[in-house]
Amino acid sequence: MQWSTEFTIPESNFPISHQSKILSMGSCFAQMIGQKMIDTKFDCLVNPFGTIFHPMILGDLLDHALFQDSIEEDGILERDGLFYYLGAHSDLYATSPEELAQKYATQLAKIKDYLDNGTHLILTLGTSWIYETEEFGRVANCHKLPQRHFSKKLVSLEDMYQHFSHIFGNFSRVYPNLKIILTVSPVRHIKDGIPENQLSKSQLRVLCSQLEGRFPAVSYFPAYEVMMDELRDYRFYKKDLIHPSEEAEDYIWEKWKKSYFSKETQTKTEELRKIKLELTHKPLNTRSESHRKFQQNLLQKLERLNREFDFSEEIEMVQKQFEM
């Protein structure tokens, strides 16, 4: 008996390999998929400004990175002795406005480097709903300020399309070889309301389709559809019933690998995943002969792989354990 509706995701025309240089930004899916690639030794920069939910905030940050804009002072706020920026997640903070401005510039420079030298840009769109202030405009994060400081609205599909058309148009001229992968986050924004979340996600899906149709460098990966159709059951969510469970993330990751990785890259990724598991292995008796043999075999694997990937830190760690 078939318990879910499966669909085939074709192999991408924009394959990713361990020679790729990848920037992943946006909602929680961008964080998840980017971190899994980092764990298997891909060169990937993930959410340098923290989790970003709204497409136009992502667009703003990419635009600021392209032109290396300075931080906007009217977006800086202080809370409990720390300084935050309305245009970024609370992961970006400092003990002074000057330090915050420097950190902001540093993160923009990192993005610029991955755009200048990168092969792939992954953007995960979370919601069409946005918060704004009269002084600053649209914000990435409210930083626990009282609700009275903000107004909330559903940004129109046309506004989002025009925003990204401008940015992707610039990218197509400055970065003609950069491949852009769009996804819609499978995370449910139910605080907006169930009907409101569905309306929001629908707009994002149409936006991705319109951008894919206009720009040859843009493609779409159906993470949202996998969650909604193949994994249509609450057992595939965490306890909050909002975020995909670890099992759901692993399932979507497998779909991602089959779509974007060659057979050779898939094999190499699996080998690196097993190495990561071995590195986290915790024996009952660290002085046993069997564990010493395990460490010796692991060290040999690391030294072999170190010719292709940087395992210097891991080799040093295992060597120290082996010598104890």
- The string of pLDDT tens digits covering residues 205-250 is 999 999 999 999 999 999 999 999 999 888 999 999 999 999 999 9
- Going by the DSSP 8-state scheme, the letter that residue 241 receives in this structure is S
- The string of pLDDT tens digits covering residues 55-65 is 999 999 999 99
- The string of pLDDT tens digits covering residues 21-46 is 999 999 989 999 999 999 999 999 99
The rounded percent of the chain whose pLDDT value lies above 70 is 99
- The string of pLDDT tens digits covering residues 78-128 is 999 999 999 999 999 999 999 999 999 999 999 999 999 999 999 999 999
Judge whether 84 and 90 are in contact, CB under 8 Å. Answer: yes
- The string of pLDDT tens digits covering residues 274-313 is 999 988 888 777 778 888 888 888 889 999 999 999 999 9
**Dihedral angle over CA of 280, 49, 308, 261, nearest 10:** 90
Average pLDDT over residues 48-70: 96
Which pLDDT belongs to residue 86?
96
| SS3 of 177-204 | CCEEEEEECCCCCHHHCHHHHHHHHHHH
Average pLDDT over residues 52-77: 96
